[in-house]
Amino acid sequence: MTKHLRTNIYSLAFGASGVGKVDGKVCFVRGALPGEEVMFEVVKDTSRYIEGDVTEILVPSADRREPVCRYYNKCGGCQIQHLSYEKELFHKKEQLVQLIRRIASDKDFECDDIVASRDCYHYRSSVTLHKGLERYGYYRRKAKDVIEIEECPIAGEGINRELAGLSPAGGKDEITLKEDHEGRVWRSDRPGERFFLDRYAGVDIYMSPKAFSQPNRYISEKIAATLESWIGPSWDDAAFFEAYCGVGFYSFLLGQDFRLRVGVDSSRTAIDCAKTTAKRLEWGNVKFYRGEVEKDFFEIFNRTKKRRNLLLVDPPRAGAARDFLEKVKECDDLERVYYLSCDPARLARDIKILTAGGGWVLGRVKPFDMFPRTKHIEALAEFVKPKT
Ligand SMILES: C[S@@+](CC[C@H](N)C(=O)[O-])C[C@H]1O[C@@H](n2cnc3c(N)ncnc32)[C@H](O)[C@@H]1O
């Protein structure tokens, strides 16, 4: 029999569930917002916490908004359309700070304000769709069946136009659509579209529908500009290393006059893009290697390092490999380390590894809203050597 409880919500957990208490036990209520009094249906009850779905909002928050998307609540893509964008930004920064404090046990770091997205809808320049019976769509929330969609309000307008005419008849199980700086759409399933030339902050970079690219054009340019200003001037005797470099996005956007730039990524398509961009730009002091970061990075590093060296780590959502991070922790030839993450819990775990035993000190962290209306949080962290 279903059980219903009543609670007052006092914060928003990472993942976008409202947090309340019932008889002293913490409960996570999907669909509820801070400041609300709600009834919810219990879906999980453990000795430590309760999880549930909101069934009735008895006292609504002034920050509650009507979701824009007709598939919201079924689709697994967005989790925060029912909250004002201003409050979404506020809670994302709070969640990041709390996760780092709790998981990495670091209380003294500086967290900058979150950088808002220019648009909180129609910002995505890359989407991956799955084949349904009559249309393509996204995976259902907490499931692997497909919610077939006619439009996606967080995707770019070019992608939405392409989506409207996309039929699954004879099509691949999965298709990635990418929109370039001119609004043209490139498809992973169309022959002859392996590479396309895209422009970020005035630099032409080869991309591919078959390789990773940052989904929010405005925010990825902001991250590159922040990284450039954090690194600062006078690195012309240094090498800049990028682990999990993809198409070399950050290597190409940083304006510093590094003596050498080196990127490592496991995707052949991404490395082909990076090499082609370097050739087109006629950059001689840049090298890209296809390899597994955990296996190959330090062998490449030891061969190519200079007197001074910097490292950017930009791993997939699962975080960086532990063995690799242990080596970064021990490495005396690195002067600073930057870590770009799209999962704050993984970032916090990796901060703990890098800073354990006084290896590195977490200097500062800056969140970026790469994924408005969804639970995801992007953050850049800077690690410096402990003061002696
Ligand atoms: C978050 S993306 C970052 C890409 C790039 N920095 C960018 O902004 O476009 C993560 C990258 O890690 C790569 N990757 C995943 N596992 C890897 C591994 N074990 N070794 C090397 N690269 C890996 C993927 O191919 C992907 O390009």
- Domain CATH number, residue 43: 2.40.50.140
Answer whether 88 contacts ligand 1 (Cβ < 6 A): no
Looking at residue 1, what DSSP letter applies?
A: -
Cβ–Cβ under 8 Å, residues 212 and 125: no
Tell me how far the alpha carbon of residue 265 lies from the centroid of ligand 1, in angstroms: 6
Distance of alpha carbon 255 from alpha carbon 80, whole angstroms = 35
Kindly give the interhelix angle for 344-355 and 322-330, rounded to the nearest 10 degrees. 40
Tell me how far the alpha carbon of residue 369 lies from the centroid of ligand 1, in angstroms: 20
- What percentage of the chain carries pLDDT values higher than 90? 95
- What percentage of the chain carries pLDDT values higher than 70? 100
Q: How confident is the model at residue 143 (pLDDT cuts 50, 70, 90)?
A: confident
Tell me how far the alpha carbon of residue 384 lies from the centroid of ligand 1, in angstroms: 23
Does residue 80 lie within any of the structural domains? no
106 pLDDT more than 90? no
Tell me how far the alpha carbon of residue 125 lies from the centroid of ligand 1, in angstroms: 18
Which atom of ligand 1 has the smallest separation from the CA of 342? 1
Residues 378, 286 share a domain? yes
Instruction: Report pTM.
Output: 0.96
Answer whether 292 contacts ligand 1 (Cβ < 6 A): yes
76 pLDDT more than 90? yes
Q: Which two tokens stand for residue 18?
A: 């409202």
Q: What residues make up the domain containing 58? A: 4-64
Does residue 73 lie within any of the structural domains? no
What would the mean pLDDT of 281-299 be, rounded to a whole number? 97
Does residue 292 lie within any of the structural domains? yes
385 pLDDT more than 80? yes
List helix spans (H) across the chain.
85-103, 157-164, 217-231, 249-253, 268-281, 293-304, 322-330, 344-355
Residues 343, 263 share a domain? yes
Quote the pLDDT of residue 1. Answer: 74
Quote the pLDDT of residue 243. Answer: 98
Does residue 74 lie within any of the structural domains? no
Tell me how far the alpha carbon of residue 156 lies from the centroid of ligand 1, in angstroms: 23
46 pLDDT more than 80? yes
Q: Which two tokens stand for residue 223?
A: 């991250």
Tell me how far the alpha carbon of residue 374 lies from the centroid of ligand 1, in angstroms: 21
384 pLDDT more than 80? yes
Which atom of ligand 1 has the smallest separation from the CA of 312? 6
Answer whether 367 contacts ligand 1 (Cβ < 6 A): no
Cβ–Cβ under 8 Å, residues 215 and 126: yes
Residues 130, 114 share a domain? no
Answer whether 290 contacts ligand 1 (Cβ < 6 A): no
Q: How many domains does the chain have?
A: 3
Residues 248, 174 share a domain? no
Q: How confident is the model at residue 329 (pLDDT cuts 50, 70, 90)?
A: very high
Does residue 77 lie within any of the structural domains? no
Answer whether 378 contacts ligand 1 (Cβ < 6 A): no
Answer whether 289 contacts ligand 1 (Cβ < 6 A): no
Query: In a 10 Å sphere around its CB, with 0-12 CB exposed, 13-18 middle and 19+ buried, how is residue 347 labelled?
Result: buried
Q: Which of 20-24, 143-147, 172-176, 285-289 has the lowest mean pLDDT?
A: 143-147
What would the mean pLDDT of 53-70 be, rounded to a whole number? 98
142 pLDDT more than 90? no
Looking at residue 357, what DSSP letter applies?
A: G
Residues 301, 278 share a domain? yes
Model confidence pLDDT, tens digit, residues 267-278:
999 999 999 999
